[in-house]
Chains A and B, each alone.
Chain A
């Protein structure tokens, strides 16, 4: 399935957001997620099914003013 992750086109072979996060980061507790502009809580990731063309944001803490 083709999706967009953090602005990059990607092809993935997982079906849930939790599976995607597990494969992308070693720090699942340091990230927050959104799909198609909607916040997805940590608790919802396991049941959040991904679909063709979804735009996924995976964010982590950074310096900020």
Chain B
């Protein structure tokens, strides 16, 4: 199988799948998906506490049984300041330097605010965070994020929750080629295991997804499907796939073809 040489901010990982913890039909379904997918990183969020609601402590208890690395997000933040404050709160609560940094520009597309993202990345990196920025395939923004201190980039496949796969494969290939040494993770928009596999075949280092597994008819089996697809895509990338051709080329040797000298018409 694929070599376990994958590292994010110095943490060695054998799974190339990062999994969101939201939208599962039950806590048990989340547990099952974490196990079947083999993920070693689970994303989670911070939301307003309610004295009448015990779900926070229940969820926290569940998370602690999963034996995974935690990646708190700043989902829903619309300014760099909101994201920075949320990241600081997450670091205290989850005791991790990691943050999945989201600064959202638009409610309909949930498109990242690249300006706010760069601003927040700079401040959080200066404060010792290890930032996983949710971005687009924009190369200019990517360079600024790296300059601001991010060592990983997470371009979207397509808008969050759409399941449309890789909306702009040309730009994603360009990004991969432009940053050959930077860990690149497709974050958002993955709907099918084949989408994840395609991204891995391009040379992406990992996939972050949530809805495609959580909302599947059987999240446990879908977790396994994504595990296999991501491993297959990575193996194919490492094995060097053939180039596409415009014209057909016989795979069976032409030399020695029987009846070659007979008229066919």
- In chain A, residues 41-65, which have Cβ atoms closer than 8 Å to a Cβ of chain B? 41-42, 57-65
A65 to B22, Cβ gap below 8 A? Answer: yes
Contact pick for B85, options A31, A34, A60, A64, CB 8 Å: A34
In the assembled complex, B247 has its CB within 8 A of some CB on chain A: no
B79 and chain A: residue at smallest CB distance: A37
Q: Which residues of B contact A34 (CB under 8 A)?
A: 85, 89
A42 and chain B: residue at smallest CB distance: B92
**Distance from A17 Cβ to chain B, minimum over Cβ atoms (Å):** 13
**Distance from A57 Cβ to chain B, minimum over Cβ atoms (Å):** 7
Among A59, A60, A63, which residue has the most Cβ atoms of chain B within 10 A? A63
B51 to A59, Cβ gap below 8 A? Answer: no
In the assembled complex, B72 has its CB within 8 A of some CB on chain A: yes
- Cα–Cα, bound, A31→B49 (Å): 7
B57 and chain A: residue at smallest CB distance: A27
B93 to A32, Cβ gap below 8 A? Answer: yes
- Cα–Cα, bound, A25→B93 (Å): 15
Q: Which residues of A contact B30 (CB under 8 A)?
A: 63
A38 to B85, Cβ gap below 8 A? Answer: yes
Q: Which residues of A contact B24 (CB under 8 A)?
A: 63
- In chain B, residues 184-233, which have Cβ atoms closer than 8 Å to a Cβ of chain A? 210-211
Q: Which residues of B contact A42 (CB under 8 A)?
A: 92
Given A38-B85, A61-B94, do A7 and B23 touch, yes or no (CB 8 Å)?
no
Given A30-B60, A61-B94, A62-B56, do A7 and B22 touch, yes or no (CB 8 Å)?
no
- Cα–Cα, bound, A61→B75 (Å): 13
B89 and chain A: residue at smallest CB distance: A32
A61 to B60, Cβ gap below 8 A? Answer: yes
Q: Which residues of B contact A24 (CB under 8 A)?
A: 49, 51
**Distance from A2 Cβ to chain B, minimum over Cβ atoms (Å):** 19
Contact pick for A64, options B22, B50, B57, B92, CB 8 Å: B22
In the assembled complex, B165 has its CB within 8 A of some CB on chain A: no
A64 and chain B: residue at smallest CB distance: B45
Among B43, B49, B88, B94, which residue has the most Cβ atoms of chain A within 10 A? B49
Among A30, A31, A59, A64, which residue has the most Cβ atoms of chain B within 10 A? A64
A6 to B23, Cβ gap below 8 A? Answer: no
Q: Which residues of A contact B112 (CB under 8 A)?
A: none
**Distance from B203 Cβ to chain A, minimum over Cβ atoms (Å):** 24
- Cα–Cα, bound, A6→B48 (Å): 6
| Sample of 8 more A-B contacts, CB < 8 Å, known A65-B43, A65-B75 | A26-B57, A59-B47, A60-B46, A62-B44, A62-B55, A63-B24, A64-B20, A65-B22
16 contacts between A and B (CB under 8 A): A6-B48, A6-B50, A25-B49, A27-B56, A30-B56, A30-B60, A34-B85, A57-B48, A57-B89, A61-B46, A61-B93, A61-B94, A63-B22, A63-B45, A64-B20, A64-B75
Hey, which bits of chain B sit against chain A, CB under 8 A? 20-24, 30, 43-51, 55-57, 59-60, 63, 72-73, 75, 81-82, 85-86, 88-90, 92-94, 160, 210-211
